[in-house]
């Protein structure tokens, strides 16, 4: 599995990347592989206030559906609308075109509570 070392990971299989004052998030390579071919991604609403650990959406595959959880608390400021037509971006490029939403965090330091790639992989 591919779990870049410059990202942080939630135990619920979401990843985060800092971009300026925003946090980009999606599901890990491990999660998309376990789910199989995705057919639908439900993201949270722009403007929605989210709390770390809260269910914020759903990914559905030909096999099953799985909840997406907020890795940190904040406000959703953008969703990846390309996933509406091409949810397979999550399968093909989970850390690139397959990002799901962006958060303006309440406290950027909360990212430090997430797992490094080696800690995440150790828990798989």
Looking from the CA of 123 toward its CB, the CA atoms found within 13 Å total 14
Mean pLDDT, residues 11-34:
97
Flag whether 63 is in a domain: yes
Flag whether 70 is in a domain: yes
Flag whether 29 is in a domain: yes
Domain hosting residue 37, numbered range: 21-106
Which tens digits make up the pLDDT trace of 91-105? 999 999 999 999 999
**Dist CA 118 CA 5 (whole Å):** 8
pLDDT averaged over every residue in the chain: 96
The CATH number for 73's domain is 2.40.50.100
* pLDDT at residue 65 in the model: 95
**Dist CA 106 CA 124 (whole Å):** 29
Flag whether 117 is in a domain: no
* pLDDT at residue 63 in the model: 87
Total tally of structural domains belonging to the chain: 1
Flag whether 51 is in a domain: yes
- Could you tell me the pLDDT band of residue 37, with boundaries at 50, 70 and 90? very high
Flag whether 92 is in a domain: yes
pTM above 0.75, yes or no: yes
Flag whether 120 is in a domain: no
What is the CB neighbour count within 10 angstroms for residue 15?
27
């Amino acid at each position: 599995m591919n779990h870049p070392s410059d990202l942080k990971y939630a135990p619920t299989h979401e990843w985060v990347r800092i971009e300026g004052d925003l946090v980009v998030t999606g599901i890990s390579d491990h999660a998309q592989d376990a789910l199989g071919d995705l057919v639908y991604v439900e993201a949270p609403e722009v403007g929605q206030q989210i709390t770390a650990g809260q269910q914020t959406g759903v990914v559905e595959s030909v096999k099953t559906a799985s909840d997406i959880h907020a890795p940190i608390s904040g406000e959703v400021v953008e969703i990846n609308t390309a996933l509406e037509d091409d949810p397979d971006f999550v399968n093909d490029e989970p850390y690139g075109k397959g990002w799901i939403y962006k958060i303006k965090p309440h406290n950027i330091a909360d990212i430090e509570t997430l797992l490094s790639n080696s800690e995440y992989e150790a828990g798989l």
